[in-house]
Structure 1
Amino acid sequence: MPRMSPCDPWRRLQEQPHVRLVSHEGGAMGWADHVRQTVSLRAGMTWAERRCTLLHELLHLDRGPQPPGLRAKDEEAVRRQTARELLPDVRAIGEALAWAPCLSEAAEELGVDVFVLRKRLRHLGTSERSYLSRRLDGSGS
């Protein structure tokens, strides 16, 4: 069984006592307010969605406010960093993908949402892609 990643967004939040966590109904999964040092998570999300969204928004706070012309680029960078921090071990990803009948079950096994798993898979390094290819073809271990 794949091991969970060592990244713990909840611990990271605890280590930043100046950051306040709130919730909101409907709309975006989360948002970060740089001025108030607040992260808001949408009510009703799954554990994995909350975990992924919390890290994503904490990374936004860490990076600080971005000029309007760079927000889309920053958003993509935060999405990639979230995926890499939550899923650092390509071997764990390979085991989950080999075991699970679908991507959503692999994501659940890894403790992330499908969006984060897809983002990580989309941006694998060459050696990671090679490892996964071998592992999923049955020739890797």
Structure 2
Amino acid sequence: MDNRLQQDERRCAVTHELVHLERGHDGCQEPSIEYEVCTEAARRLIPIDTHCAHAAWATSDHELAEELWVTPQVVTDRLQSLTPEETAQLALVEHQTR
């Protein structure tokens, strides 16, 4: 592990690599596989209930990432992979805070 990484970056990298190991991946993967791994890692790192609880007051994805102890890219990956049910749940929270 690169010792220049911050704690949140290490946490995200470890989760990402664990998903690769669980799926039996070896070496570089195609972009579509990387996308799937990033999506799964983001889902593991940011459960929807936790996301909703913090999204209610976070003013940016960067602030949300800091609070959730992940990188901004993981927040982006999570948002891009929301199920329709999760999207509705998050929209409800955002509507209630306005």
TM-score (norm 2): 0.85
Q: Any residues of structure 2 matched to 1:10-89 within 5 Å, and which?
A: 41-65=1-25, 71-88=30-47
**CA positional deviation for 1:48:** 0.8
Deviations 1:29-82 (A, max 9, x none): xxxxxxxxxxxx3221111111001111122122223697x6222111110110
Aligned-partner residue type, residue 118 of structure 1: T
Q: Aligned to 2:30, what secondary structure does the other structure show?
A: helix
Cα separation, 2, equivalents of 1:129 and 1:42: 35
Aligned-partner residue type, residue 59 of structure 2: P
Cα separation, 1, equivalents of 2:44 and 2:53: 18
Aligned-partner residue type, residue 6 of structure 2: T
Runs of 4+ off more than 3 Å: 65-68
Q: Which residue of 2 aligns with 1:133?
A: 91
* Structure 1: gaps spanning 5 or more residues: 1-40
Q: Any residues of structure 2 matched to 1:88-107 within 5 Å, and which?
A: 88=47, 90-107=48-65
* Structure 2: gaps spanning 5 or more residues: none
Q: Is 1:66–1:74's contact at 8 Å kept on the other side of the alignment?
A: no
Instruction: Determine which structure has the larger helix proportion and give its number.
Output: 2
Q: Aligned to 2:25, what secondary structure does the other structure show?
A: coil
Q: Any residues of structure 2 matched to 1:105-116 within 5 Å, and which?
A: 105-116=63-74
Instruction: Determine which structure has the larger strand proportion and give its number.
Output: 1
